[in-house]
Amino acid sequence: MFTKSIRFRLMSWQLAALTLVLLSFGLVLYYSISSGLHRSIDVALEAEAESVLSSVDFQGEQVDLGQVGLDFDTAGLFIQISDTSGSILARSSNLGSLKIPLGDALLKQVTGQSDAGLFKTITTTKGGNLRLFTRFSHGDADTAKSFVVQVATSLGPLERALLHLRFWLFIIAPVLLFVFGLGSFLLSRRLLHPLKQMAQTAERISDYHLSERLPVVNPDDEIGQVAHTLNRMFDRVGESFQSQRRFVADASHELRTPIAVLQTKLEVTLRRLRTCTEYRDVIQMSLDHAQRLSMLVDQLSFLARSDAGSWRAEMGPVRVDKICLEQVREFKAQADTMCITLQVECAQPVIVLGEPELLRRLLINLLENAMKYTPKGGTVRLGLKRDGAKARLVVSDTGMGIPPDDLPHVFDRFYRVDRARSRRIPGTGLGLSLVEEIARMHGGSVTVESVVSQGTTFTVSLMSQEMPSEGPTE
């Protein structure tokens, strides 16, 4: 369980990366210092060998080192001069009983490269290591005597220095890993603590506690941004839950009212015998309520299918101006009965990609809504025109208008402006919701403007198309 946590994986990757860095750095540092020290010793040995070669003074078969031997004793260097047969001609006093080896193989190698010399690391009988430089010389013009110069120094100080370096590297690396691991643990714990709080808070959030939100410790970092995004999502989820509850409650109320009226009326009618006229009135009233219920169920079904994404409209080119003229002719008689003037301005052909029945339902709902809230003597106007790539359908009235506080909610399902007054006006409260949904399904939008006691204007914007040469189909 612990190995699956983000904190463990974060610490593991950090420690692994630090271990790799420390190991690489330690190896590079160690071998750089080691090679540098060895190289400096080799340079010093070669320089001292050249100094000896230039200072050698043969006195018969003997060589007098003179001041050179004293300098070598002081510098901690060893010198040995031998002839080509391996016999020692001279040696520094600090060698004591130690003899620098000069075998046949080494002698053969060094005489083959007299100008370069040969470096070699040897182990003495006392167990110490020496760095040895061997150089062959043919001698000067006077003696023409060949000899071999060997200059050596102890590697003990260098090996002790490298030993101390290795010791400190092996000590420092684990200490650094421990300190870094502890710091990584504390830092990751502090950084991931908001995530733990967010998880605990998210566990408590349910449909009964939708008001609770995730804590935002630092809104500017990535975790704070995630928390802010999730809180906005919870806001939308909460609004959706509230809308769903309100929708269910309103739907239940809208269904319950006509059912209760219908049931009461039928029960009262059955208490005694009625005349044919009375039975006819009851049947007519029942039919009216049944039609209202049927319309309400159809609207609810359409909205539910639209919300679920299961509604598949068959889109095609539609002459919206023809639909407008047809609906105006159908509403003309009703408008005359209500003493309302119905005006239309849609002489220009306008084509949109859509589904004819849905667009017809959109227009019917807008016209019915306008006529319901327009008093006698008022005017309802229907306009349609192309505005660039948009087709704008405008339905306006001179009715009672909508208060500013109610304007943002007019497209909410079952929302009725001034419910006490709206009870006298038939309707389900779903008409404008259907208008908005149909406009959205056609890639458009609907807006509303209203002034109380002056009237209301609804504007539907849809994407228009060019008039085809062969004529559009509906």
- CATH fold for the domain made of 222-308: Helix Hairpins (1.10.287)
Residues 308-330 pLDDT 10s: 665 666 788 999 999 999 999 98
For residue 418, what are its two tokens?
């001034």
What's the CATH class of domain 2-161? Answer: alpha beta
Q: Where in the chain is the domain with CATH 1.10.287.130?
A: 222-308
Number of Cβ within a 10 Å radius of residue 75: 13
pLDDT in tens, 104-137: 788 778 777 656 788 888 887 666 788 889 888 8
CB-based contact 349:339 (threshold 8 Å): no
pLDDT tens digits for range 424-467: 555 566 778 888 888 988 889 999 999 998 999 999 999 887 76
Specify the pTM.
0.50
Q: Residues of CATH 3.30.450.20 domain(s) within the chain?
A: 2-161
Who wins on pLDDT, 67 or 95? 95
Mean pLDDT within 171-188: 84
pLDDT in the model for residue 143: 53
Per DSSP, helices labelled H in 96-221 are 104-111, 156-204
Whether the Cβ atoms of residue 406 and residue 422 lie closer than 8 Å to each other:
no
DSSP 265: H
Cβ-Cβ contacts under 8 Å for 46 (sequence gap 6 or more): 117, 133
DSSP helix/strand/coil, 401: coil
Domain with CATH 3.30.565.10 in the chain: 316-465
CB 402 within 8 A of CB 417: yes
**Which 3 state secondary structure label does DSSP give 393?**
strand
Per-residue pLDDT band at 396 (split at 50, 70, 90): very high
Share of the chain above pLDDT 90, in %: 15
Count of other CB atoms within 10 angstroms of residue 460 = 25
CA distance 439 to 467: 21
Is the domain 316-465 a CATH 3.30.565.10 member?
yes
Q: How far apart are CA 240 and CA 368, in angstroms?
A: 29
3-state secondary structure 72-83: HHHHCEEEEEEC
Give the tens place of pLDDT for each residue, 355-387: 888 898 899 889 988 998 899 999 999 999 988
**CA separation for the pair 259, 249 (Å, rounded):** 15
Cβ neighbourhood burial of 58 (10 Å; 0-12, 13-18, 19+): middle
Give residue 397's identity as a one-letter amino acid code. D
Phi-psi region of 138 (alpha: psi -120 to 50; beta: other; left: phi over 0): alpha
Mean pLDDT of all residues in 158-185:
87
Percent of residues, the chain, with pLDDT higher than 70: 82
pLDDT in tens, 39-66: 999 998 888 888 777 776 665 556 666 5
Report, as an integer, the average pLDDT of 275-302.
80
